[in-house]
């Protein structure tokens, strides 16, 4: 299946040319079964220009040292845990790290309240199990088991959403690098190159908190929200433009000034204070993450392209803004109305946004 026939290609498909160019130009030592050196992985994530002129687009905008620590962890026998509030690109970074390290970002376990041990260990082909009894051929390997056998990166999304007993299935895998198969009286030992990248949401702490035994098997890297408004504007504008192309939206990406307004609203409401610090604000209950800002801008592009003249204005952005900010119809509606009157109304260049909000 080609990248043209799917809605969202995997990272290794979408950026195949960049990965190939980096691998060819990379002359540094590579860990076992790594597609490129740790230094090249960092360059792939943060972007740059190769000696042959190939431009590597940034996949993550943030502290370089955090990325270096994350990549350095994958070289050791420790697993990597990416922690942060919603929308801090944990899954995005996990996917691109796996693509650069092992060329396969699709070995994923999605953590939910209903995730069972077979998603971490293995399941059975019950037709063969009944016909032949327990055998190697009857095993249905999990993504983790496949990664152990091939020396690849296994990704675990939302680790803390899994039940505690399922989380603890990782303890032996991460500490001993083996997976017992008691039904066959054997075990699978991981080959060099195997590692795990897990993500966890800061707001999920205490829901299914990790045991200390499991936590010790991870090196935790906390991903903060974008440090500056300019960084967040760049992230939102870039991702919205990419999504617009992928979805073939008949609209041009909005001007940076429009993106900046969305980002500033989110940042001010997140922090509970205006950018100049003069006005204190009520914080809505939602996370108002960078990912949600991208969704607001992309939604505006869809409305402008299909129901407008193709130009994204305040009118197209308002619906997405209201949906992102007002999640609790009582407390959030009060916080949003106060923000409109105390901040938006007083900014002369935001009058169009104020009018559009009043019309809703």
Q: How many domains does the chain have?
A: 2
Tokens of 61: 């905008």
- pTM score, two decimals? 0.89
Look at strands 153-157 and 178-181 and give their pairing.
Answer: unpaired
286 and 328 inside one domain = yes
Residue 35 lies in a domain: no
> Which domain CATH number covers 95?
3.40.50.300
Write down which residue in 167, 188, 222 finishes a domain: 222
Average pLDDT, integer, range 132-139:
92
253 and 106 inside one domain = no
Instruction: Check pLDDT > 90 for residue 202.
Output: no
232 close to 263: Cβ distance less than 8 angstroms: yes
Instruction: Check pLDDT > 60 for residue 206.
Output: no
Residue 281 lies in a domain: yes
Show the domain range for 163.
66-222
262 close to 317: Cβ distance less than 8 angstroms: yes
Tokens of 14: 């979408």
282 and 207 inside one domain = no
Residue 57 lies in a domain: no
- How far apart, in whole angstroms, are the C-alpha atoms of residue 326 and residue 283? 11
- pLDDT tens string 274-289: 999 999 999 998 889 9
139 and 165 inside one domain = yes
Residue 266 lies in a domain: yes
262 and 188 inside one domain = no
Instruction: Check pLDDT > 80 for residue 54.
Output: yes
276 and 338 inside one domain = yes
């Amino acid at each position: 299946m080609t990248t043209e026939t799917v809605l969202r290609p995997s990272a290794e498909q979408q950026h195949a040319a960049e990965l190939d160019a980096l691998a060819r130009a990379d002359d540094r030592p590579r860990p076992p079964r790594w597609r490129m050196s740790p230094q090249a992985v960092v360059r792939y994530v943060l972007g740059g220009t190769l000696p042959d002129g190939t431009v590597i687009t940034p996949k993550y905008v943030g502290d370089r040292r955090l990325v270096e620590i994350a990549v350095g962890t994958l070289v050791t026998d420790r697993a990597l845990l990416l922690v942060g509030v919603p929308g801090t690109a944990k899954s995005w970074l996990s996917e691109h790290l796996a693509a650069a390290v092992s060329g396969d970002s699709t070995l994923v376990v999605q953590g939910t309240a209903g995730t069972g041990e077979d998603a971490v260990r293995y399941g059975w082909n019950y037709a063969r199990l009944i016909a032949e009894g327990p055998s190697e051929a009857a095993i249905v390997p999990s993504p983790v088991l496949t990664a152990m056998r091939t020396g690849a990166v296994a990704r675990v999304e939302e680790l803390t959403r899994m039940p505690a007993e399922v989380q603890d299935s990782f303890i032996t895998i991460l500490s001993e690098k083996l997976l017992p198969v008691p039904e066959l009286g054997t075990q699978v030992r991981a080959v060099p190159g195997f590692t795990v990248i897990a993500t966890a949401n800061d707001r999920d702490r205490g829901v299914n908190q990790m045991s200390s035994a499991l936590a010790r098997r991870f090196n935790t890297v906390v991903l903060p929200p974008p440090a500056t408004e300019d960084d967040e504007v760049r992230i939102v504008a870039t991702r919205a433009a990419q999504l617009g192309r992928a979805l073939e939206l008949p609209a041009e990406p909005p001007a940076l000034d429009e993106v900046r307004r969305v980002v500033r609203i989110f940042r001010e409401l997140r922090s509970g204070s205006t950018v100049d610090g003069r006005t204190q604000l009520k914080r809505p209950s939602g996370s108002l993450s960078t990912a949600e800002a991208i969704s607001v801008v992309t939604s505006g592009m869809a409305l402008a392209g299909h129901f407008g003249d193709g130009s994204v204005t305040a009118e197209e952005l308002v619906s997405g803004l209201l949906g992102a900010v007002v999640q609790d119809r009582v407390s959030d509606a009060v916080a949003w109305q106060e923000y409109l009157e105390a901040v938006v109304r007083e900014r002369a260049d935001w009058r169009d946004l104020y009018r559009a909000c009043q019309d809703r």
